[in-house]
């Protein structure tokens, strides 16, 4: 029995390792822009015939969002056509059950140490799936789903309006603009380490402080840090003498921003997808709200390269700060606390809404 349990654990660890490698690949895909864009805008380092403009740099970044917009729909289609096993082995159980491959499904689940889940998985696979139209209808006819959709869409839009993706991609260029004595590449590495640490502690903070409380703290800290960053650039661009003594403020402000964002604001809206939607429309609801977020993010990232030279960094960061402040007040007024509550209790709270 012990040997079988160890074998199941080993297989689960291998699967988890594959997922982590996949996440690392996503991180490399998103993170390469930070050092590369700075080189493409440097006359001495660029491999191109001419340096790229801020607008061109923003288009390089924003095209990442095009893949994320179609990704959820394409992946769902591929899962159903060729199965999850070729795409990702861990999802093979339900798909094989749905394709009348119950023996293979049971073998798969048994090898993962999930014998107790076999009946539930097979029963779920036998359920008649709802069409997207049915799920969309359920999202807007059931009051709790309607309010959940409203809350998650607004939070996702405000997420992207904080400029986190644009700032992360342009972070090396931003540090070059500060005139700091610290190498911009070193500052970028510090920011990267900060993001990893904050993402690591986020699950612990969510369980201890609660979703809403952490969201309020996170959005407030994001707003304050971006206000400080915008103020520094205002002083720096207008040649105030005090700016020389405040060069440290740009690095500290961005560190606080990324810590606060990835510890709360960046992950809590996704947590709400699993907690607020009913089981029958959770998958479509998550895809629908995420698509709206990525479309909005595409617009913000594209506009960033035009806004930066036209309005200056101070105004841009103050706008991002305003979005975080709006998220704070929106969360205080409309977002319920879900810590320690069952899904039924959460739906009852959402069902009392006027929306």
Kindly indicate the confidence band of residue 329, based on its pLDDT and cuts at 50, 70 and 90. very high
Tokens of 67: 């893949």
Q: Which of 47-51, 144-148, 167-171, 283-287 has the lowest mean pLDDT?
A: 47-51
- Please count the other Cβ atoms lying within 10 Å of the Cβ belonging to residue 7: 13
Closest C-alpha to 328, from 103, 158, 73, 129? 158
Q: What gap in Å lies between CA 169 and CA 33, rounded to an integer?
A: 5
Q: What gap in Å lies between CA 317 and CA 335, rounded to an integer?
A: 25
What is the reported pLDDT for 59? 56
Closest C-alpha to 322, from 148, 190, 158, 170? 158
Place of tokens 């607004």: 154
Which CATH number is 32-81+130-351's, of 1.20.1250.20, 1.10.240.10, 2.30.30.30, 3.40.50.300? 1.20.1250.20
State yes or no: pLDDT of 221 exceeds 90: yes
Q: Which of 22-36, 37-51, 207-221 has the lowest mean pLDDT?
A: 22-36
Q: What gap in Å lies between CA 319 and CA 327, rounded to an integer?
A: 13
Closest C-alpha to 254, from 181, 184, 205, 204? 184
Q: What gap in Å lies between CA 271 and CA 54, rounded to an integer?
A: 34
DSSP letter at 335 equals P
148-207 pLDDT tens trace: 889 999 999 999 999 888 887 777 777 777 776 667 677 777 777 787 777 777 777 777
Tell me the C-alpha to C-alpha distance, in Å, between residue 181 and each of 173, 245, 250, 308: 14, 11, 12, 22
Kindly indicate the confidence band of residue 233, based on its pLDDT and cuts at 50, 70 and 90. very high
State yes or no: pLDDT of 291 exceeds 80: yes
Kindly indicate the confidence band of residue 289, based on its pLDDT and cuts at 50, 70 and 90. confident
Kindly indicate the confidence band of residue 222, based on its pLDDT and cuts at 50, 70 and 90. very high
Share of the chain above pLDDT 70, in %: 59
State yes or no: pLDDT of 60 exceeds 50: yes
Share of the chain above pLDDT 90, in %: 18
State yes or no: pLDDT of 285 exceeds 60: yes
Q: What gap in Å lies between CA 202 and CA 206, rounded to an integer?
A: 6
- Would you list the domain boundaries of the chain? 1-30+83-129, 32-81+130-351
Q: What gap in Å lies between CA 155 and CA 266, rounded to an integer?
A: 10
What is the reported pLDDT for 326? 97
Q: What gap in Å lies between CA 354 and CA 230, rounded to an integer?
A: 38
pTM of the complete model: 0.70
- Please count the other Cβ atoms lying within 10 Å of the Cβ belonging to residue 185: 14
HSE-CB for 118 with a 13 A CA cutoff: 15
Is residue 302 within 8 A of residue 58, CB to CB? The reply is: yes
Is residue 276 within 8 A of residue 286, CB to CB? The reply is: no
HSE-CB for 274 with a 13 A CA cutoff: 6
Closest C-alpha to 170, from 33, 324, 347? 33
Closest C-alpha to 38, from 168, 228, 163, 231? 168
Is residue 229 within 8 A of residue 246, CB to CB? The reply is: no
State yes or no: pLDDT of 298 exceeds 80: yes
């Amino acid at each position: 029995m012990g040997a079988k349990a160890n074998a199941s654990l080993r297989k689960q660890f291998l699967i988890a390792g594959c997922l982590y490698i996949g996440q690392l690949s996503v991180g490399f895909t998103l993170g390469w822009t930070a050092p590369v864009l700075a080189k493409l805008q440097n006359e001495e380092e660029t491999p191109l015939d001419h340096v790229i403009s801020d607008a061109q740099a923003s288009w390089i970044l924003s095209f990442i969002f095009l893949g994320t917009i179609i990704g959820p729909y394409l992946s769902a289609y591929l899962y159903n056509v060729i199965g999850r096993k070729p795409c990702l082995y861990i999802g093979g159980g339900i798909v094989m059950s749905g394709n009348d491959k119950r023996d293979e499904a049971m073998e798969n689940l048994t090898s993962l140490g999930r014998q107790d889940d076999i009946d539930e998985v097979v029963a779920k696979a036998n359920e008649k799936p709802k069409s997207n139209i049915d799920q969309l209808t359920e999202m807007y006819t059931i009051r709790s789903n309607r309010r959940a959709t409203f809350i998650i869409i607004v939070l996702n839009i405000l997420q992207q309006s904080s400029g986190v993706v644009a700032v992360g991609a342009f972070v090396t260029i931003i540090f070059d603009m500060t005139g700091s004595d610290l190498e911009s590449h070193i500052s970028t590495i510090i920011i990267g380490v900060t993001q990893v640490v904050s993402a690591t502690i986020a699950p612990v903070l969510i369980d201890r402080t609660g979703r809403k409380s952490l969201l309020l703290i996170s959005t407030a800290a994001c707003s304050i840090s971006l206000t400080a960053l915008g103020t520094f650039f205002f002083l720096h661009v207008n040649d105030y003498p005090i700016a020389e003594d405040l060069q440290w403020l740009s690095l500290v402000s961005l560190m606080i921003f990324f810590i606060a964002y990835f510890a709360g604001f960046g992950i809590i809206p996704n947590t709400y997808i699993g907690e607020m939607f009913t089981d029958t429309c959770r998958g479509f609801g998550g895809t629908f709200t995420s698509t709206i977020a990525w479309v909005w993010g595409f617009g913000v990232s594209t506009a960033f390269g035009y806004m930066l030279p036209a309005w200056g960094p101070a105004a841009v960061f103050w706008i991002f700060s305003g979005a975080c402040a709006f998220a704070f007040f929106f969360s205080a007024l409309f977002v319920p606390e879900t810590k320690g509550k069952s899904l039924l209790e959460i739906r009852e709270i959402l069902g009392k809404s006027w929306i």
